[in-house]
Structures are given as structure tokens and as C-alpha cells.
């Protein structure tokens, strides 16, 4: 029995799976590929980091032999990432890491590939469409792990590229339950277990029944994972602390060229894009409350102020609060200013930032949205339960919630990330900085995995600087060269890195 016999081609509970020209996929419609291809072509121009890596490794193809399982929003930008991995020699399979975030034309274009047609696709297996159910989502994620080797055998990946950690989670939980020999059962009325957790348990229960060693075999093959986000990184650090991490991990999130660019400059762009597409309301002259002044909050405040809004910041962290004050923003508690706000944006990554009490106290037709993390940052569940509340959907992702007293508020994207829900997320250029780190991390882990332990690593500063350098050039910036003499004077190498590890930028 080969590695893959447990994975049968017939497992298609949702009737979504297709195979054409030898390519397996589950996307909305391959006919969208042509438009997707146009978008990919334009995005390539805005992603100089990825294109430079393609040129740099065109001959070496360092990912030859890599089988990468990717779980990351299936957008146009991700399509450029996927095709970069392929051009570096990798075999790739892909799913989205969020049920709403797939751009269907991008998914289709990736399946078709740059040289294929909808009739004769030549691209990458993708299992993702906009608006999946939770069971569909986890079915897609499971498909991620069924590569085919040269002889047509089903084999697992040897690399994971993750955003939020769901692919990594499935492997770790799979191994845990296979080791225990059983998947825990949960009582139907146990409210401490979320719906999603039940779906994962069901998925693994079926898997265990079909092949009691599948995930154990899969895990052994994996050389490492590179992880994109804070949430996923936190999971990895916890696993490493507990000694349960099954393979090395690179924390891409904390590269400077990720966290200080994607988070700040990405949101500066996409926040107002989302607000404008959703509401067409003049931002200038409005009172905008930004909850949180981390990198995302900083980008949000700058964007709103740049459009002429008066920005008020709420913060728990006195250091960030002092930064906000010295940038000229009022720092206040939400309770105190809620009655003045015209726009309220959450950026914290925490929960219950805007409560139903806040919403009840807002002015008529306040615009409320989140760019922080989950939809519990704004208490959407509480809002829906509010006695006498009435919801009017103005258009997709724009809801007016009318309170019994007659005043209403405009909630964007049901409290989920409005820059993705009401616009198209971060633009290509900032994603190019983030994704270049991903590619570099994949090369690093795949080619030098023996030098890494089962721990969480960050990319070296010199790689961070390399990513930055490519993007500086793309924007026409001219870097100054350090002389040997100057380099010695400040005790660095002429080629960098130029700063100590704890430098804050």
C-alpha cells in the first residue's frame, strides 16, 4: 500500500472536485481565468520582490523537489506567489485560509496556469471559492495534503506555507489523535466547543477510520512551515514551548518588511478603499475613532487624517498611546467619545472592543468597521441579539442596523475585515514584501532543514534587508553605499545587516 491509498479520488462529499487534463481542482468556474490572468499580469508589475526572486533563481530552481501545501487567501497576489514557487521548481497545492477571501478569477487562473486554457488547464491544483461553508473549508484543507508523485502515487507535502496555522493545525491534531488512537467526542450541548472545532474533529475522525497513520506519515515528511500571521505564529510558539512542534517553523510575520509594511502601509491604503466603496461618505471633516494604535492603527489613523478626518485614538498600551498623542491625535476612552464619532474603526486584534452599549449610544448613521482581526472585535453577536434591533442590507457587506429608538448604524462586512470584505485587501506592492519573505523562508527551510530544530525561527536581518532592497529599487530609490571605512566606524559589514536585532525602525 502506497502512502496515499487512504486518499481516494472519490472523496467528494460536496460535488466540487474536478479533474481536467490531469489537474485536480475545486474552484468556482474556470472561465473566469482570462480576467484573472489579466489581473495577475498587472499585479506582477507591482510585486517586484517576487519577480526578482524568479529571475534570481531561474536556473538554480532551489525548490525543485519541494511539495508545498499552501493555505493562504487565494487572491490575485497569492496567484503571483504560487506561480513564483512553481517557477522555482516546486510542486504546489493551494487552499484559501478564510471562507470569504478567495477571488474566484484568481483561483481559476492559477488552475489554468499561464500556458493553459480552461479546456486544457496546466496550472496548480486549487481548492477554494468565495463563500465556502465550514465543512467545505476543511474538506479543501484536507485535499491540500494529497500530492501525486512521479509514479502517480498519492504522497504528502514536504513543506507547508501557512497563514493563520490551519494547515499546521490539521497535521498536529491528526498526529495527536493517531497517537492516542481516538478522536475525542463532544456532547451536542457542550457550548464551549465551537462549530468549527466540531468540523475539525469530524474531519479527523473520518481520517482516522480510513487510515490510522495518515497524518503521522505526512508529518514525518514535512521539512518545515513558514507562517504569515500573528495568530499562526502564536500557535507555533505555544507548540514549541510545550515541546509538541513536529517540524521547524519560520515566523515570517515578524520580519520588519512584513509587520512594519504590510500592517501599516497596507491598511493605510485599503482602509479608506473599503470605507469608500462601502459608503461613498465624505471622510473629510468627520470625527473618526480608531481603536488601537499598533501598526494597523497607525496606518488607519494616518489614512483618515490624510483625508481630513479628525482622528481620536483609544489605547490600552501607554507607549502606543504616547505615540498617538505626540503625533497630534486625541487619546480618549471610547465611552467618553462615542457620542461624537462619525466613523469607528477597530484595529486591536482583541475582542469586545465595541460593545452593544457603545453601538446603542452612537450617533445616527455612524459607520462602524473592523480591520483588526475577528468579528468579535465588534460584538456582532450581541448586536444581532439586541431587543428590537432591525437589520437592513443596503448592499452586500453593508448593513444598516436600526435600533428601537430609531437611530441606526452602518456596519461593514458584518464586523469582519472591511478592507477585504468591502474592497480587495492590501495592494500588491505591500504583499510583495510579505510574500518575498515567504518564498525566502521556503527556500531556507527546504534546502537547509537539517540546520533547524523543532523550534520557531525568524529570518535573518540580512534577508529582511534583501527584500527591502528589491522594493526600494522598484520605487526608484537610490541607496547610498557604505564605504569600508564607514562600515568599520559603526562596526557593521559593508553589505549589512546594518542594525542590531533589537532595533525598532
Considering only residues 247 to 266 of the shown chain, the ones binding a second copy according to CB under 8 A are 254, 256-257, 259-261, 265-266
Q: For residues 383 and 300, what is the distance between their CA atoms, to the nearest angstrom? A: 24
Decide if residue 308 touches a second copy (CB under 8 A): yes
The Cβ-side half-sphere exposure at 443, using a 13 Å CA radius, reads 20
Binding a second copy (rule: CB under 8 A), the pick from 59, 151, 188, 485 is 485
Q: Where are the beta strands (DSSP E) in 228-305?
A: 249-251, 287-291
Binding a second copy (rule: CB under 8 A), the pick from 154, 199, 240, 472 is 472
Binding a second copy (rule: CB under 8 A), the pick from 188, 190, 195, 478 is 478
Binding a second copy (rule: CB under 8 A), the pick from 16, 20, 206, 351 is 351
Q: For residues 385 and 107, what is the distance between their CA atoms, to the nearest angstrom? A: 36
Are 331 and 315 a contacting pair, CB within 8 Å?
yes
Shortest spacing between CB 28 and a second copy, in angstroms: 17
Of 428, 440, 431, the C-alpha closest to 465 is 440
Axis-axis angle for helices 166-180, 195-210 (nearest 10) = 50
The Cβ-side half-sphere exposure at 136, using a 13 Å CA radius, reads 17
Binding a second copy (rule: CB under 8 A), the pick from 83, 211, 273, 379 is 273
Decide if residue 479 touches a second copy (CB under 8 A): yes
DSSP 8-state symbol, 354:
B
| Residue 230 assigned to a binding site | yes
Q: How many helices (H) and strands (E) does the chain have?
A: 20, 19
Shortest spacing between CB 40 and a second copy, in angstroms: 11
Decide if residue 39 touches a second copy (CB under 8 A): yes
| Residue 284 assigned to a binding site | no
Q: For residues 279 and 225, what is the distance between their CA atoms, to the nearest angstrom? A: 40
Residues 6+ apart with CB under 8 A from 400: 365, 391, 392, 393, 394, 408, 409, 410, 411
Decide if residue 464 touches a second copy (CB under 8 A): yes
Interface with a second copy in residues 388-407 (CB under 8 A): 392, 394-395, 400
| Residue 294 assigned to a binding site | yes
Nearer to a second copy, 57 or 498 (CB): 498
DSSP 8-state symbol, 112:
H
Shortest spacing between CB 236 and a second copy, in angstroms: 13
Decide if residue 375 touches a second copy (CB under 8 A): no
Per DSSP, helices labelled H in 315-460 are: 318-326, 334-337, 356-360, 380-385, 418-421, 428-447
Decide if residue 334 touches a second copy (CB under 8 A): yes
Number of Cβ within 10 Å of residue 316's Cβ equals 12
Decide if residue 311 touches a second copy (CB under 8 A): yes
Stretch that binds a second copy, among 62-70, 176-184, 190-198, 420-428 (CB under 8 A): 420-428
Binding a second copy (rule: CB under 8 A), the pick from 352, 357, 451, 493 is 352
Shortest spacing between CB 482 and a second copy, in angstroms: 5
| Residue 298 assigned to a binding site | yes
Decide if residue 315 touches a second copy (CB under 8 A): yes
| Residue 422 assigned to a binding site | no
Tell me the backbone φ, ψ of residue 260, rounded to 5 degrees. Answer: -90, 0
Nearer to a second copy, 42 or 210 (CB): 42
Binding residue ranges for NAD(+): 229-231, 263, 292-299, 315, 350, 419, 426
Binding residue ranges: 75, 163, 228-231, 258, 262-263, 292-299, 315, 350, 419, 426
Amino acid at each position: 500500500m502506497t502512502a496515499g491509498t487512504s486518499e481516494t479520488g472519490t472523496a467528494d462529499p460536496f460535488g466540487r472536485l474536478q479533474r481536467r487534463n490531469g489537474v485536480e481542482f475545486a474552484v468556482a468556474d474556470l472561465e473566469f481565468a482570462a480576467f484573472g490572468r489579466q489581473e495577475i499580469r498587472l499585479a506582477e508589475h507591482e510585486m517586484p520582490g517576487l519577480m526578482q526572486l524568479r529571475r534570481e533563481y531561474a536556473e538554480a530552481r532551489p525548490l525543485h523537489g519541494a511539495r508545498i501545501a499552501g493555505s493562504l487567501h487565494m487572491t490575485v497576489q497569492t496567484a503571483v506567489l504560487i506561480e513564483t514557487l512553481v517557477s522555482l521548481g516546486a510542486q504546489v497545492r493551494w487552499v484559501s485560509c478564510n471562507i470569504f477571501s478567495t477571488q474566484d478569477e484568481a483561483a481559476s487562473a492559477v488552475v489554468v496556469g499561464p500556458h493553459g486554457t480552461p479546456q486544457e488547464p496546466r496550472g496548480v491544483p486549487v481548492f477554494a471559492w468565495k463563500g465556502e461553508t465550514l465543512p467545505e473549508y476543511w474538506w479543501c484543507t484536507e485535499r491540500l495534503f494529497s500530492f501525486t508523485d512521479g509514479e502517480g502515487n498519492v504522497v504528502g507535502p514536504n513543506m507547508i506555507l501557512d497563514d493563520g496555522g490551519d494547515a499546521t493545525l490539521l497535521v498536529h491534531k491528526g498526529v495527536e489523535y493517531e497517537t492516542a488512537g481516538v478522536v475525542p467526542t463532544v456532547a451536542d450541548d457542550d457550548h464551549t466547543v465551537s462549530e468549527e472545532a466540531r468540523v475539525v474533529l469530524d474531519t479527523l475522525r473520518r481520517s482516522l477510520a480510513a487510515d490510522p497513520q495518515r497524518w503521522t506519515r505526512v508529518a514525518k515528511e514535512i521539512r518545515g512551515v513558514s507562517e504569515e500571521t500573528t495568530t499562526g505564529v502564536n500557535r507555533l510558539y505555544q507548540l514549541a514551548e510545550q515541546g509538541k512542534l513536529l517540524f521547524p517553523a519560520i515566523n515570517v510575520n515578524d520580519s520588519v518588511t512584513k509587520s512594519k509594511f504590510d500592517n501599516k502601509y497596507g491598511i493605510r491604503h485599503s482602509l479608506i478603499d473599503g470605507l469608500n466603496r462601502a459608503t461613498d461618505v465624505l471622510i473629510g471633516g468627520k470625527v473618526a475613532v480608531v481603536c488601537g494604535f499598533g501598526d494597523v492603527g497607525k496606518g488607519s489613523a494616518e489614512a483618515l487624517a490624510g483625508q481630513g478626518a479628525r482622528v481620536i485614538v483609544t489605547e490600552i498600551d501607554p507607549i502606543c498611546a504616547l505615540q498617538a498623542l505626540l503625533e497630534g491625535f486625541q487619546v480618549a476612552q471610547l465611552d467618553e467619545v462615542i457620542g461624537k464619532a462619525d466613523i469607528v474603526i477597530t484595529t486591536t486584534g482583541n475582542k469586545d472592543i465595541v460593545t452593544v452599549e457603545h453601538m446603542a449610544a452612537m450617533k445616527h448613521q455612524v459607520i462602524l468597521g473592523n480591520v483588526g482581526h475577528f468579528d468579535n472585535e465588534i460584538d456582532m453577536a450581541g448586536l444581532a441579539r439586541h431587543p428590537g434591533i432591525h437589520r437592513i442590507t443596503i448592499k452586500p457587506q453593508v448593513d444598516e442596523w436600526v435600533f428601537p429608538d430609531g437611530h441606526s448604524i452602518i456596519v461593514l462586512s458584518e464586523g469582519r475585515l472591511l478592507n477585504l470584505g468591502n474592497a480587495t485587501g492590501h495592494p500588491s506592492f505591500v504583499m510583495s514584501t510579505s510574500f518575498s519573505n515567504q518564498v525566502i523562508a521556503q527556500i531556507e527551510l527546504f534546502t537547509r532543514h537539517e540546520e533547524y530544530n523543532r523550534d520557531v525561527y525568524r529570518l535573518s536581518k540580512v534577508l529582511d534587508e534583501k527584500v527591502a532592497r528589491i522594493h526600494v529599487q522598484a520605487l526608484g530609490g537610490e541607496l547610498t553605499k557604505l564605504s569600508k571605512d564607514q562600515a568599520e566606524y559603526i562596526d557593521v559589514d559593508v553589505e549589512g545587516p546594518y542594525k542590531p536585532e533589537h532595533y525598532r525602525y
